[in-house]
Every structure is written in C-alpha cells, then in structure tokens.
C-alpha cells in the first residue's frame, strides 16, 4: 500500500509505493505503482550523495540491493520529510 511523503520545506507530496536500500546506503523511494514495476524502469527519489528524482532501471540496481519492500508501515521518512499519515 502506498504512503504519501511530504517535503517539510516545500510541502510537495508524492506517493511512495516501494523502498530499496543499496549496499552503498543509498535509498530509493519508488514512486511508480506496483503494477508498473514489471516494466523495469520506475520513477524514484534517490537519497545518496545528492537527492535526485527520475527514472531508475530496477535491473541495473538489483545486484546492489540489500533490502527491498512494498511494506512501508514501519519505514522512517528520509531527512526533512514526513509521512502525511503521521502527526508531526
């Protein structure tokens, strides 16, 4: 189930459908709904050396993924963000 993520500076919101952590500790908040992830290319916000949003190939990052989940219930938001369904 998707969760809505809010940027605390801009107020901009996005729906997150999945999350991945790579071996280099980069986090991928996947914005493409699950029914489309079979297409390999997904839209994501990546928190690494820089924060970027764009298209990502799941097959390219797969060898480096330590954790991948669609269960976002206990996932902490990235820095300077909050889940809309949680009180601040």
Q: Tens digit of pLDDT for each residue in 10-44?
A: 999 999 999 999 999 999 999 988 776 567 899 99
pTM over 0.85: yes
- Diameter of the chain measured on Cα atoms: 36
| Residue 27 Rama label (left phi>0; alpha psi -120 to 50; beta) | beta
Distance CA 65, CA 25 (A): 9
| Average confidence score pLDDT of the chain | 91
Radius of gyration (Cα) for the chain, nearest Å?
12
Mean pLDDT computed over 54-59 = 93
55, pLDDT greater than 50: yes
pLDDT value, residue 88: 47
- Identify whether the C-beta of residue 28 lies closer than 8 Å to the C-beta of residue 46: yes
């Amino acid at each position: 189930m998707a969760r809505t993520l809010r940027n605390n500076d801009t107020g901009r919101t996005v729906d997150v459908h999945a999350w991945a952590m790579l071996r280099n500790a980069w986090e991928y908040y996947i914005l493409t709904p699950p029914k489309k992830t079979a297409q390999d290319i997904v839209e994501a916000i990546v928190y690494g050396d820089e924060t970027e949003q764009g298209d990502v190939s799941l097959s390219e990052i797969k060898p480096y993924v330590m954790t991948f989940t669609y269960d976002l219930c206990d996932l902490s938001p990235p820095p300077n963000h909050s889940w809309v369904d949680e009180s601040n």
